[in-house]
Chains A and B, each alone.
Chain A
Amino acid sequence: MNPVATPVFFYGLSIAAIVFAIAVITRKNAVHAALSLIGTLVSLAGLYLMLYAPFVAGVQIVLYAGGIMVLFLFVIMLVNLDQNIREIQFNKQWLVGLIAALSLGGLLLFVLRQGRSIFPVDQVAVLPEGSNTQMIGIALYGQYMLPFEIASLLLLVAIVGAVVMAKKRI
Protein backbone atom coordinates (compact mmCIF):
# COMPACT_ATOMS: atom_id res chain seq x y z
CA MET A 1 0.00 0.00 0.00
CA ASN A 2 1.39 3.36 -0.94
CA PRO A 3 1.44 6.15 1.63
CA VAL A 4 -1.15 8.86 1.15
CA ALA A 5 -0.52 12.63 1.24
CA THR A 6 3.06 12.30 2.51
CA PRO A 7 4.02 15.96 1.83
CA VAL A 8 1.07 17.31 3.81
CA PHE A 9 1.95 15.26 6.89
CA PHE A 10 5.67 15.92 6.52
CA TYR A 11 5.39 19.69 6.25
CA GLY A 12 2.73 19.89 8.95
CA LEU A 13 4.72 17.81 11.44
CA SER A 14 8.06 19.48 10.74
CA ILE A 15 6.63 23.00 10.94
CA ALA A 16 4.96 22.04 14.23
CA ALA A 17 8.25 20.59 15.53
CA ILE A 18 10.24 23.71 14.62
CA VAL A 19 7.65 26.19 15.95
CA PHE A 20 7.42 24.31 19.27
CA ALA A 21 11.24 24.18 19.43
CA ILE A 22 11.45 27.95 18.97
CA ALA A 23 8.86 28.31 21.73
CA VAL A 24 11.07 26.16 24.00
CA ILE A 25 13.99 28.56 23.81
CA THR A 26 11.99 31.81 23.89
CA ARG A 27 9.36 31.27 26.60
CA LYS A 28 9.99 32.97 29.94
CA ASN A 29 8.06 30.44 31.98
CA ALA A 30 9.91 27.12 32.23
CA VAL A 31 6.64 25.17 32.46
CA HIS A 32 5.51 26.61 29.12
CA ALA A 33 8.91 25.67 27.65
CA ALA A 34 8.52 22.10 28.93
CA LEU A 35 5.04 21.81 27.42
CA SER A 36 6.35 23.13 24.08
CA LEU A 37 9.12 20.56 24.23
CA ILE A 38 6.45 17.86 24.60
CA GLY A 39 4.88 19.24 21.40
CA THR A 40 8.22 18.95 19.58
CA LEU A 41 8.71 15.39 20.83
CA VAL A 42 5.25 14.27 19.71
CA SER A 43 5.73 15.87 16.26
CA LEU A 44 9.05 14.05 15.94
CA ALA A 45 7.32 10.79 16.87
CA GLY A 46 4.98 11.44 13.94
CA LEU A 47 7.99 11.96 11.67
CA TYR A 48 9.45 8.64 12.89
CA LEU A 49 6.19 6.94 11.97
CA MET A 50 6.49 8.42 8.48
CA LEU A 51 10.03 6.98 8.29
CA TYR A 52 8.68 3.45 9.01
CA ALA A 53 10.11 3.37 12.52
CA PRO A 54 7.06 2.64 14.71
CA PHE A 55 9.10 1.21 17.58
CA VAL A 56 11.28 4.31 17.89
CA ALA A 57 8.14 6.46 17.69
CA GLY A 58 6.59 4.49 20.56
CA VAL A 59 9.76 4.72 22.63
CA GLN A 60 9.89 8.44 21.90
CA ILE A 61 6.40 9.03 23.26
CA VAL A 62 6.61 6.65 26.24
CA LEU A 63 10.15 7.48 27.36
CA TYR A 64 10.63 11.09 26.28
CA ALA A 65 7.21 12.66 26.46
CA GLY A 66 6.15 10.37 29.29
CA GLY A 67 9.25 9.82 31.38
CA ILE A 68 11.88 12.49 30.87
CA MET A 69 9.42 15.37 30.62
CA VAL A 70 7.75 14.35 33.88
CA LEU A 71 11.23 14.46 35.44
CA PHE A 72 11.70 17.97 34.05
CA LEU A 73 8.33 19.14 35.36
CA PHE A 74 9.11 17.71 38.81
CA VAL A 75 12.39 19.62 38.95
CA ILE A 76 10.66 22.82 37.77
CA MET A 77 8.27 22.36 40.68
CA LEU A 78 11.10 21.65 43.15
CA VAL A 79 13.22 24.70 42.28
CA ASN A 80 11.54 28.02 42.88
CA LEU A 81 11.38 29.83 39.53
CA ASP A 82 9.06 32.69 40.58
CA GLN A 83 11.93 35.10 40.99
CA ASN A 84 13.63 33.88 37.82
CA ILE A 85 10.70 34.93 35.63
CA ARG A 86 11.24 38.58 36.54
CA GLU A 87 14.94 38.49 35.66
CA ILE A 88 16.64 38.88 32.28
CA GLN A 89 16.28 35.61 30.41
CA PHE A 90 19.20 35.89 28.00
CA ASN A 91 22.84 36.19 28.99
CA LYS A 92 25.30 38.90 28.01
CA GLN A 93 26.87 37.14 25.04
CA TRP A 94 23.54 36.23 23.41
CA LEU A 95 24.27 38.13 20.19
CA VAL A 96 27.61 36.37 19.67
CA GLY A 97 26.00 33.01 20.42
CA LEU A 98 23.15 33.70 18.01
CA ILE A 99 25.52 34.70 15.20
CA ALA A 100 27.79 31.68 15.81
CA ALA A 101 24.86 29.23 15.83
CA LEU A 102 23.28 30.76 12.72
CA SER A 103 26.56 30.61 10.81
CA LEU A 104 26.88 26.96 11.86
CA GLY A 105 23.38 26.45 10.45
CA GLY A 106 24.38 28.14 7.21
CA LEU A 107 27.41 25.87 7.01
CA LEU A 108 25.22 22.79 7.58
CA LEU A 109 22.80 23.84 4.84
CA PHE A 110 25.75 24.50 2.49
CA VAL A 111 27.18 21.03 3.21
CA LEU A 112 23.81 19.38 2.64
CA ARG A 113 23.37 21.30 -0.60
CA GLN A 114 26.84 20.44 -1.87
CA GLY A 115 26.75 16.86 -0.64
CA ARG A 116 23.45 15.82 -2.18
CA SER A 117 25.39 14.39 -5.12
CA ILE A 118 27.83 12.49 -2.87
CA PHE A 119 25.36 11.08 -0.37
CA PRO A 120 22.48 9.14 -1.89
CA VAL A 121 20.02 11.36 -0.04
CA ASP A 122 17.55 11.54 -2.89
CA GLN A 123 17.06 7.84 -3.40
CA VAL A 124 13.64 6.40 -2.66
CA ALA A 125 13.43 4.15 0.37
CA VAL A 126 12.91 0.43 0.34
CA LEU A 127 10.19 -0.73 2.71
CA PRO A 128 11.51 -3.13 5.37
CA GLU A 129 10.36 -6.72 5.42
CA GLY A 130 8.84 -8.17 8.57
CA SER A 131 7.89 -6.59 11.86
CA ASN A 132 9.95 -3.56 12.86
CA THR A 133 9.85 -4.29 16.59
CA GLN A 134 10.91 -7.88 16.07
CA MET A 135 13.84 -6.84 13.87
CA ILE A 136 15.00 -4.27 16.44
CA GLY A 137 14.75 -6.86 19.20
CA ILE A 138 16.86 -9.32 17.24
CA ALA A 139 19.44 -6.61 16.53
CA LEU A 140 19.52 -5.47 20.18
CA TYR A 141 19.99 -8.95 21.60
CA GLY A 142 22.28 -10.22 18.85
CA GLN A 143 24.63 -7.81 17.15
CA TYR A 144 24.28 -5.02 19.72
CA MET A 145 24.44 -7.19 22.86
CA LEU A 146 27.52 -5.51 24.37
CA PRO A 147 26.34 -1.91 23.82
CA PHE A 148 22.97 -2.93 25.28
CA GLU A 149 24.61 -4.21 28.47
CA ILE A 150 26.81 -1.10 28.67
CA ALA A 151 23.67 1.04 28.36
CA SER A 152 22.14 -0.78 31.34
CA LEU A 153 25.32 -0.11 33.34
CA LEU A 154 25.17 3.55 32.30
CA LEU A 155 21.60 3.80 33.56
CA LEU A 156 22.63 2.25 36.89
CA VAL A 157 25.45 4.78 37.26
CA ALA A 158 23.03 7.58 36.36
CA ILE A 159 20.53 6.45 39.01
CA VAL A 160 23.22 6.35 41.69
CA GLY A 161 24.61 9.68 40.53
CA ALA A 162 21.22 11.40 40.55
CA VAL A 163 20.49 10.17 44.08
CA VAL A 164 23.92 11.26 45.33
CA MET A 165 23.55 14.69 43.73
CA ALA A 166 20.03 15.42 44.90
CA LYS A 167 20.29 14.09 48.45
CA LYS A 168 21.10 16.53 51.25
CA ARG A 169 23.32 14.24 53.30
CA ILE A 170 24.27 10.69 52.50
Chain B
Amino acid sequence: MGEITTLHYLVVAAALLIIGTIGVLTRRNVVIILMSIELILNAVNLNLVAFSRLYGLHGQVFAIFVITDAAAEAAVGLGIIIAFFRNKETVNVDEADLLKW
Protein backbone atom coordinates (compact mmCIF):
# COMPACT_ATOMS: atom_id res chain seq x y z
CA MET B 1 0.00 0.00 0.00
CA GLY B 2 2.87 2.51 0.22
CA GLU B 3 3.10 6.02 1.58
CA ILE B 4 -0.03 8.21 1.59
CA THR B 5 0.81 11.53 -0.05
CA THR B 6 -1.14 14.72 -0.63
CA LEU B 7 -2.03 13.45 -4.10
CA HIS B 8 -4.16 10.69 -2.56
CA TYR B 9 -6.19 13.26 -0.64
CA LEU B 10 -6.59 15.35 -3.79
CA VAL B 11 -8.02 12.36 -5.65
CA VAL B 12 -10.54 11.71 -2.86
CA ALA B 13 -11.52 15.40 -2.89
CA ALA B 14 -11.95 15.30 -6.68
CA ALA B 15 -14.20 12.25 -6.36
CA LEU B 16 -16.38 13.99 -3.75
CA LEU B 17 -16.56 17.12 -5.93
CA ILE B 18 -17.71 15.10 -8.93
CA ILE B 19 -20.31 13.19 -6.89
CA GLY B 20 -21.64 16.51 -5.57
CA THR B 21 -21.77 17.97 -9.08
CA ILE B 22 -23.69 14.94 -10.35
CA GLY B 23 -26.15 15.38 -7.48
CA VAL B 24 -26.69 19.06 -8.29
CA LEU B 25 -27.16 18.39 -12.01
CA THR B 26 -29.42 15.34 -11.88
CA ARG B 27 -31.65 15.41 -8.80
CA ARG B 28 -35.07 17.06 -8.67
CA ASN B 29 -35.45 17.31 -4.91
CA VAL B 30 -34.08 20.69 -3.86
CA VAL B 31 -33.19 19.49 -0.34
CA ILE B 32 -30.88 16.86 -1.84
CA ILE B 33 -29.42 19.48 -4.19
CA LEU B 34 -28.46 21.55 -1.12
CA MET B 35 -26.88 18.43 0.41
CA SER B 36 -24.87 17.96 -2.79
CA ILE B 37 -23.63 21.54 -2.45
CA GLU B 38 -22.47 20.63 1.04
CA LEU B 39 -20.56 17.70 -0.50
CA ILE B 40 -18.84 20.08 -2.93
CA LEU B 41 -17.87 22.45 -0.10
CA ASN B 42 -16.46 19.49 1.85
CA ALA B 43 -14.34 18.48 -1.14
CA VAL B 44 -12.90 22.01 -1.20
CA ASN B 45 -12.23 21.78 2.54
CA LEU B 46 -10.37 18.50 2.12
CA ASN B 47 -8.18 20.13 -0.54
CA LEU B 48 -7.45 23.10 1.72
CA VAL B 49 -6.57 20.97 4.73
CA ALA B 50 -4.44 18.61 2.61
CA PHE B 51 -2.40 21.53 1.28
CA SER B 52 -2.15 23.09 4.73
CA ARG B 53 -0.06 20.07 5.70
CA LEU B 54 2.52 21.24 3.19
CA TYR B 55 2.31 25.02 3.37
CA GLY B 56 1.45 25.88 6.95
CA LEU B 57 -1.73 26.74 8.78
CA HIS B 58 -3.47 29.06 6.29
CA GLY B 59 -5.41 26.24 4.68
CA GLN B 60 -7.00 25.24 7.96
CA VAL B 61 -8.05 28.83 8.68
CA PHE B 62 -9.63 29.01 5.23
CA ALA B 63 -11.37 25.69 5.86
CA ILE B 64 -13.00 27.25 8.93
CA PHE B 65 -14.15 30.20 6.82
CA VAL B 66 -15.61 27.79 4.28
CA ILE B 67 -17.51 26.00 7.05
CA THR B 68 -18.90 29.38 8.17
CA ASP B 69 -20.04 30.07 4.62
CA ALA B 70 -21.63 26.64 4.43
CA ALA B 71 -23.62 27.35 7.59
CA ALA B 72 -24.84 30.69 6.21
CA GLU B 73 -25.70 29.14 2.85
CA ALA B 74 -27.61 26.26 4.45
CA ALA B 75 -29.65 28.63 6.63
CA VAL B 76 -30.65 30.92 3.76
CA GLY B 77 -31.17 28.04 1.32
CA LEU B 78 -33.43 26.13 3.67
CA GLY B 79 -35.39 29.32 4.36
CA ILE B 80 -35.92 29.69 0.61
CA ILE B 81 -37.04 26.04 0.43
CA ILE B 82 -39.66 26.62 3.12
CA ALA B 83 -40.96 29.76 1.36
CA PHE B 84 -41.05 27.89 -1.97
CA PHE B 85 -42.86 24.91 -0.46
CA ARG B 86 -45.46 27.22 1.05
CA ASN B 87 -46.20 28.74 -2.37
CA LYS B 88 -46.02 25.72 -4.69
CA GLU B 89 -46.59 22.68 -2.41
CA THR B 90 -43.61 20.94 -4.00
CA VAL B 91 -39.83 20.74 -3.58
CA ASN B 92 -38.97 19.83 -7.18
CA VAL B 93 -36.67 22.33 -8.85
CA ASP B 94 -38.09 21.82 -12.33
CA GLU B 95 -41.47 23.03 -11.11
CA ALA B 96 -39.99 26.37 -10.02
CA ASP B 97 -40.86 28.09 -13.29
CA LEU B 98 -42.70 31.27 -12.27
CA LEU B 99 -40.10 33.47 -13.96
CA LYS B 100 -39.92 31.27 -17.08
CA TRP B 101 -42.30 32.59 -19.73
Chain A interfacial positions (CB closer than 8 Å to B): 6-8, 10-11, 14, 17-18, 21-22, 24-25, 30, 33-34, 37, 40-41, 44, 47-48, 50-53, 55-56, 59-60, 63-64, 67-68, 71-72, 75-76, 78-81, 84, 87-94, 97-98, 100-102, 104-105, 108-109, 112, 116, 120-125, 128, 132, 135-136, 139-140, 144, 147, 151, 154-155, 157-159, 161-166, 168
Determine which of A6, A33, A84, A136 lies in contact with B90 in the assembled complex, contact meaning CB atoms within 8 Å. A84
Of the A-B pairs whose beta carbons lie under 8 Å apart in the complex, a sample of 15, sorted by A's number, is A10-B8, A11-B1, A25-B20, A25-B22, A47-B49, A56-B63, A68-B70, A71-B78, A90-B28, A91-B26, A123-B6, A124-B5, A136-B61, A139-B58, A147-B65
Question: Could you tell me which residues of chain B, from 37 to 68, have a CB within 8 Å of some CB in chain A?
Answer: 38-39, 42, 45-46, 49-50, 52-54, 57-58, 60-61, 63-65, 67-68
- Which B residue's beta carbon lies closest to that of A67? B71
- Nearest opposing residue in chain B for A109, CB measure: B14
Interface residues on B, range: 35 or more
Q: Are B19 and A25 in contact (CB under 8 A)?
A: yes
B-chain residues with CB within 8 Å of residue A63 when the two chains form the complex: 67, 71
Q: Are A52 and B7 in contact (CB under 8 A)?
A: no
Q: Name the residue of chain B whose CB is nearest to the CB of A5.
A: B1
* Contact present for A89 and B18 (CB under 8 Å): no
CB nearest to A78 among chain B residues: B82
Q: Are A17 and B12 in contact, with the CB atoms below 8 A?
A: yes
* Contact status B54-A155, CB under 8 Å: no
Cα of A168 to Cα of B83 in the assembled complex, Å: 8
Nearest-neighbour CB distance to chain B for A126, whole angstroms, equals: 8
- Kindly state the separation between the CA atoms of A78 and B42 in the bound complex, as whole angstroms: 26
B35 nearest CB across to chain A (Å):
5
Contacts of B76 in A (CB 8 A): 158, 161-162, 165
| Whole-angstrom distance between the Cβ of A15 and the nearest chain B Cβ | 9
Contacts of B12 in A (CB 8 A): 14, 17-18, 47
A101 CB, min distance to chain B CBs, angstroms: 4
Beta-carbon contact of B10 and A121 below 8 Å: yes
Task: Check B82–A121 contact: CB distance below 8 A.
Answer: no
Contact A33 B42 (CB under 8 A): no
User: Once the chains are docked, how many angstroms separate the CA of A74 from the CA of B36?
Assistant: 17
* A154-B70 Cα distance, complex, nearest whole Å: 11
